Amino acid sequence: MRLFRFFVISAVVIFLVGPLLVVGVASLNANQFLDFPVTEFSGKWYGALLTDPQWRASVSNSLKIAVPGAGLAVLIALPMAYALHQWRPRFSGVFMALGVLPFMLPPVISAVGALVLWNEIGRPGQIENVIIAHGVFFSTVPLITISLGLAGIDPSIQEAATTLGADGRRRFFTVTFPLLVPSIVTGYVAAFVLSLNEYIIAFMVAGFTVETLPIKIFNSLRYGFTPTIAAVSIVFTGISLGVLTMLARFGSLERLLGAGISDT
Amino acid sequence: MTVVETPADTVELTEPVIHDEDGPGMSWSGRIMLMVPTLVLAVFFLGPFALMLRTSFYRRIQGGFYEPAFVLESWSRLGSDFYIDRALFSLRICLFVAAVTVMFAFPFTWFLTRMKARYQVPLLIMILAALTLSEVIVAFAWDLILGRASGISNIMVWLGLMSEPQSYTPGYWAVCIGLAYIAFPYCVLTLYPALSRIDRELTEASETLGASPLRTFFNVVVPLSRTNLVAAFLMVFVFTLGSYIIGQVLGRPEHWTLSVFISDQATYNSNVPFAAAIAMFLTAVSLAIVGVTTWLGSRQGRARQKAVAV
């Protein structure tokens, strides 16, 4: 069993990390073209990333979408999760399904949907369209983290607040909300990172006018390999890793992912 | 297309009857809190489905536009041998990848949930980082690793195992590997809550009774999680069906899945009505699978409640 466990875990780690190591090596290759073994190392492609106005524009576009997009996702999810938890209305399953469905269906469906919608409205290709599409698509993520967070709050704490005379609003802002902050932050950050990396919706909704980073990577890939692509991939992986490590410090990652929470 | 319109219908039905069964009735602020997000989702998520359905009957005109009409052109094209063949290929490759992914992700997740937090957290961070990785980056990384210029075949040559470097991409297996890569973290996270909930005492009891850990795994853990296994398998299946970049970068056009065709039609071929028709078809397939998964979950939930009651 030990051997089996060792085999499974190392196979998974190699499978998941291996490709990124290759990309990492490629990003440090001084040569413009790929060669093996690498003859000379250099960090110049990372520098190119910072100075090239096109890459910088795509980073800024991605941020302009991900920051408000993830915010919108939380704004959709928080009231919904709270209302469903607090009042348990009839058919709450239907509302939950509506909230979870966008993320469960293949994203290309949301992408065509948003494309058709904005064509119909007559404002195709705007950056706001991508923000809204991402906000709706990724609202599932904070909805789940916040619902899990609400389920983890001891009801007696809220009851205590009521007994002490707090009305619904006061109870929410002084008791529930502060306890929910980790779940909200997790939901926001996860939606933010996912939005930053999202390709197909951004591409179909406004890909020809707003070039986000994944779109830029893909467009450059079509013209062949450049080490800059490798460098930008590594930077992005680094950002994800950093953000997730921070989350792990901030709260219990295991709990946030649903460990030890009963399904009743 | 009743399948697709069901959510919209039910939502409208439920609106007037919201009330609480136990405890105080839902206040106005509560209703607003529920209704505003629902409205946003209805307009920007459900609304487009109605539009897509309508657009799929529109006539495409030259120059990348389309005009209101009622033609079955897109649907009959979807029903042509070529696209039926493509649809079957998509389902087949995604089923295969989902099966292999679950086979590896299940034992991995099990070991993961039994680890001390010190080891577990870095692995979880790795899984989450892989999950958030853009599909573009994943495709690029595998393109590098499987390619001729600096991939694994170069390492093989260097080690003297192969005589000259070879390229494994584009190809069927390259697509499978790429899909498995994006599916794996997703699969682990689907299994994680259920597996971490399995009581330690159960496995300990099995081991006290003399079963080896391997036997405990197959005779206790696997049967306990049969429903979760099937659910994870189906969710991964839908997830891989949605992959767009992998097939395009790591495969030839004959390895393209439906998602690739949808975006290819909508953008480079400027045939939005046809893209809408394929998207509706993909929606129906995905909804059916998600429906089965949910049904399985609720059945398990009921079974558990019964067990508790007994």
Alpha helices, H only, chain B:
2-14, 28-41, 47-55, 73-78, 81-113, 117-132, 135-146, 152-158, 172-197, 200-208, 213-216, 222-224, 226-241, 245-250, 258-266, 272-309
- CA A190 – CA A255 distance, rounded (Å): 15
Confidence of residue A135 (pLDDT cuts 50, 70, 90): very high
- Mutate: best of A1, A8, A12, A256, partner B, most B CBs <10 A: A12
Residue B80 has pLDDT above 70, yes or no: yes
CATH superfamily ID and name for A56-256: MetI-like (1.10.3720.10)
Q: Give tens-digit pLDDT for B100-131.
A: 999 999 999 989 988 888 888 889 888 888 88
Map out the domains of chain A as residue ranges. 56-256
Contact A95, B34 (CB under 8 A): yes
Is the ipTM above a cut-off of 0.95?
Answer: no
Q: What are residue A29's phi and psi, to 5 degrees?
A: -75, 125
Test A37 with B158 for CB contact under 8 angstroms.
yes
Domain that holds residue B172: 72-309
Residue A64 tokens read as: 């302009």
* B190 Cβ contact partners less than 8 Å away, ≥ 6 residues apart: B228, B231, B232, B235, B236
CA angle A248, A254, A258 (to 5 degrees): 130
Instruction: List the single residue in B30, B46, B128 with the smallest CB-CB distance to A244.
Output: B128
Handedness of CA B110, B114, B115, B116 (dihedral sign): positive
Instruction: List the single residue in B32, B48, B130 with the smallest CB-CB distance to A117.
Output: B48
Residues from chain B contacting residue A206 (CB–CB below 8 Å): none
Domain count, chain B: 1
* A109 Cβ contact partners less than 8 Å away, ≥ 6 residues apart: B242, B262, B279, B282, B283, B286
Test A101 with B290 for CB contact under 8 angstroms.
yes
According to DSSP, the residues that pair with B61 across neighbouring strands are B65
For the beta carbon of residue B88, count every other beta carbon within 10 angstroms: 10
- Mutate: best of B26, B32, B44, B142, partner A, most A CBs <10 A: B44
Confidence of residue B2 (pLDDT cuts 50, 70, 90): very low
Work out the angle between the directed axes of helices A53-87 and A44-51 (0-180°, nearest 10): 80
* B10 within domain boundaries: no
Instruction: List the single residue in B133, B193, B249 with the smallest CB-CB distance to A197.
Output: B133
**pLDDT of A71:** 95
How many angstroms separate the CA of residue A154 from the nearest CA in chain B? 17
| Residue-by-residue DSSP string for B58-109 | SEEETTTEEE-----HHHHHHTSHHHHHHHHHHHHHHHHHHHHHHHHHHHHH
* B57 within domain boundaries: no
* B31 within domain boundaries: no
Test A200 with B263 for CB contact under 8 angstroms.
yes
* B164 within domain boundaries: yes
- CATH number (domain holding residue B165): 1.10.3720.10
Test A101 with B121 for CB contact under 8 angstroms.
no
Number of helices (H), then strands (E), belonging to chain A: the values are: 14, 0
* B56 within domain boundaries: no
Instruction: Compute the mean pLDDT over every residue in chain B, rounded to the nearest whole number.
Output: 79
Confidence of residue B98 (pLDDT cuts 50, 70, 90): very high
Maximum average pLDDT range among A71-80, A216-225, A245-254, B19-28: A71-80
Test A98 with B249 for CB contact under 8 angstroms.
no
- CA B181 – CA A141 distance, rounded (Å): 21
Burial (CB < 10 A; 0-12, 13-18, 19+), residue B284, is middle
- Mutate: best of B27, B65, B127, B128, partner A, most A CBs <10 A: B128
Residues from chain A contacting residue B45 (CB–CB below 8 Å): 98, 101-102, 110, 113, 136
Contact A259, B196 (CB under 8 A): yes
- Mutate: best of B27, B45, B90, B131, partner A, most A CBs <10 A: B45
For the beta carbon of residue A264, count every other beta carbon within 10 angstroms: 8
Instruction: List the single residue in B20, B29, B124 with the smallest CB-CB distance to A88.
Output: B20
| Mean pLDDT in residue range A7-33 | 84
- Which of B64, B47, B129 lies closest to A120 in space, CA to CA? B47
Test B287 with A1 for CB contact under 8 angstroms.
no
* B24 within domain boundaries: no
